[in-house]
Structure 1
Amino acid sequence: MSTQSSITIVGAGPSGLACSIVLAQAGRRVVVREWKPNVGHRFHDDFQGLENWTRDEDVLNELTGAGITTDFERHAFDAGTVFDPSGRRYPVKGRRPLFYLLRRGPAEGTLDRALLKQAIAAGVDVRFNDRVREFDEAGVLAAGPRQAGIIAAGQLFETEMPDGAWLALGHAVAPGGYAYLLVHSGRGTVASCMFTNFRDQAKHLAATVAFFRTNAGLEMRNPRPFSGFGNVRLPTTAMQGGHPVIGEHAGFQDGLAGFGMRHAIRSGVLAAQSILDDSNYTARWQAELGPLIKAGVVNRLFFNLAGELGMKLAVRRLARADAGGLLKRVYETSALKRLLLPLAQRWYRASLAEPSCDHINCDCVWCQHGDHAEGEKLGT
């Protein structure tokens, strides 16, 4: 490929923008085409966590090493509180930050806005309100989730609460998932992150709010609703029409907890590197991301089979250890995980056929906000 030929990236999420930054910094001409009118359109200034436990290298150093500046607002959290399904409280702590709290959406200071600014500064041509239906030129596909395997329903608010991170397990607050409360500098996000029973999201959010009011002293002023969804799958090649597919468009997401930002950004970097050195993108992501994604899918199988008793035992163990170190071991491969992967994948595919959501008169997050375009395929 000529270094003067233009490379098109479809989608201006973290994976697409990260890919564009690496390419532009190497002197390539890059065009990012985004369907929506701004970055971060799926988010509402809500807090999210950039995980820092799946690799030995700190995630901020990983980004910097790829040429991506970390000038977005972020706050390191090395401790928090986890509640088991019976409501028992366990403090957890890591020897280094467990995650970096950051904001998502189009506002100043968010991850999305910071990546956009860096891409433009590097010379990337970012075009909004540009929905791509045919795509023949050289490029990368980063158009976001194609289906919903996870949804989150919550509220953003102002508060006098002290900073902190709280997580609650149990099917009452979050079937198949977890509920969370994140507070920093007078702002907060509370949500139920569900892997099933989408249609009853309002009930589970109400249970989540009530739980944190009782157990964490939740106080909210000026609450505003927000919602989101995510896509998890293990692709074979992550290639479509000869183009690398990155981020949640490919399904690069953690199957256990839904922490996908690190995977998404890394996949964008890997795609850019494969273009720059004309190497095999599939081999690259399978080597770097594949083991973590496979482990997440098997971890999801363990989580489903363990039930609430297993959750209690897991939380107790987490509280007794370096939380980050233990979580890292959970995402390492093993002979047992390799053996169980085919079963876990079949289980996971079946779980995506969400029985509570038939897309008929349904107001769940995916039905209301997902991209349900029939038969639209890019790169063909």
Structure 2
Amino acid sequence: MTGETTIVGAGPAGLACAIALARAGRSVVVREWHDRVGARFHNDYQGLENWSRDEDVLHELKQAGIDTDFEKVAVSAGTAFDAKGRRYGLRSEQPLYYLVRRGSGQGTLDRALLEQAIALGVEVRFDDRVREAREADILATGPRTADAIAAGYVFETDMAEGSWLALDDDLAPSGYAYLLVYGGRGTVASCMFRGFREEAQHVARTVKFFRDRAGLVMSNPKTFGGYGNFRFPYTAQQGGRPVIGEQGGFQDPLAGFGMLYALRSGILAAQSVITGARYSDLWQQSLGPLMKAGAVNRYLFNLGGDALRCLALSRLEHRDARIGLQRAYRPSLISALLFPFIKTRIGVSLEDPSCSHENCDCVWCRSVAQGNAPTCC
């Protein structure tokens, strides 16, 4: 690619790509069909994971030219619960993840990336829907379907800061429920991989659970919802164009921690433009092993049920949790043997039969009905 580079989508993947290209002296235009950055999000807390590699994620981003001046909280301890309500204390010497806010407000990850890009001379066009892939050089329009949804509340609170996780299918089928509280703000949600049609019941049970177990107190609660798409791409290219972020399937299918995968894929796409290297080679070398491990982890998570989840939590409690998670994402003989089978089934195994898109009011169906799901490229 020469001359001006056009990126479709102003999410973390698209903006990270734009920043990396602009730092290399390239002229970049980002076209976003929403009227603002972070339109899918509601000032909710999310985690920027820090366990899949030895290097701290903030250092990794800085090395790639991404400033980390967004609001963030290093989290190295938390509490987890199994399906029987047993409590596990998880700790690590280094941060497990960095808590960040998503949305269009000041201090959010999305807003910080936007401001960086503009400061470097990137032209960002909002309310600019792209209808054809040929209008772009790099595609980053976000998830095309929902393999998992998260629904719950953002709120104000005077309760103690902390993070809590629950692995209980009654709260979040095949997923997890979570409560994150920092700086007088909180997010409580059910992240479910099936049972979308019963979204409201899962959220209600989640709120009650954390009220009973963590002393949840909410003031001025506001509902929010989101969705994620997981798949293992063959080339992550469309018509020779790099496809990055969730549009390319770049997420961890176990936990749905996709921000780092999105940022990395955007940086790799920029490198392919700058150096002429094949994008498919770059992501397969850098992200492929992590995504394979995530797919195997998801398969075992579903297969092993509560017994395996209890065992995993117990092991994490008795060691540095970051190191324990890191080991789970390293290439192994088990993942090499299982992945070829899992790869053929990952789309089927994550498909939720309860969500038929008929008389369903889950967050994904609401987004489709309101015209808020991507429809181009």
Q: Deviations over 1:264-286 (max 9, x none)?
A: 00000000001001110000000
**CA–CA separation in structure 2 for the residues paired with 1:249 and 1:30:** 20
Match of residue 32 from structure 1: 30
Within 1, Cα distance between the matches of 2:343 and 2:84? 30
Tell me the residue number matched to 2:111.
113
Q: Which residue of 1 aligns with 2:138?
A: 140
Other structure's SS at 1:9 match:
strand
Aligned equivalents of 2:110 and 2:52: distance in 1? 22
TM-score, with structure 1 as normaliser = 0.97
Tell me the CA shift for residue 375 of structure 1. 11
Does residue 1:153 correspond to 2:155, yes or no?
A: no
TM-superposed deviation, 1:138: 5.8
Q: Shift of the alpha carbon at 1:351?
A: 2.5
Distance (whole Å) between structure 1 residues aligned to residue 85 and residue 150 of structure 2: 21
The match for 2:285 is 287
Alignment of 1:209-224 (within 5 A): 209-224=207-222
| CA gap 1:376/1:92 in 2 versus in 1, 3 angstroms | closer
Partner of 2:353: 355
Cα deviation per residue 1:138-171 (whole Å; 9 max; x = unaligned)?
Answer: 6100000011111000101111111100000110
- Find the counterpart in structure 1 of residue 98 from structure 2: 100
Q: Name the counterpart of 2:272.
A: 274
Pairwise mapping of residues 211-360 of structure 1 onto structure 2 (< 5 A)? 211-360=209-358
CA distance in 1, matches of 2:122, 2:373: 30
Equivalent residue in structure 2 for 1:191, among 189, 192, 215: 189
Q: Report the secondary structure of 2:40's partner residue.
A: coil
Gapped runs of 5+ residues in structure 2?
Answer: none
Tell me how many residue pairs correspond in the alignment: 376
Q: Which amino acid aligns with 1:178?
A: Y
Residue type at the aligned position of 2:176? Y
Q: TM-score, normalised by structure 2?
A: 0.97
3-state SS of the aligned residue for 2:282? helix
**1:169 paired to 2:167:** yes
Aligned-CA RMSD value: 1.5
Mapped contact 2:21–2:28 kept (Cα < 8 A): yes
Whether the 8 Å contact between 1:6 and 1:138 is mirrored in structure 2 is: no
Q: Does 1:182 align with 2:180?
A: yes
1:80 is matched by which residue type in structure 2? Answer: G
8 A contact 2:37–2:110 mirrored in 1:
yes
Instruction: Measure, in 2, the Cα distance between the counterparts of 1:197 and 1:342.
Output: 27
Percent identity of equivalent pairs: 60
Q: CA deviation at 1:346?
A: 3.1
Map of 1:18 onto structure 2: 16
1:234 & 1:376 partners in 2: Cα distance?
Answer: 21
Alpha-carbon offset, residue 309 of structure 1: 1.4
Letter in 2 for 1:25: R
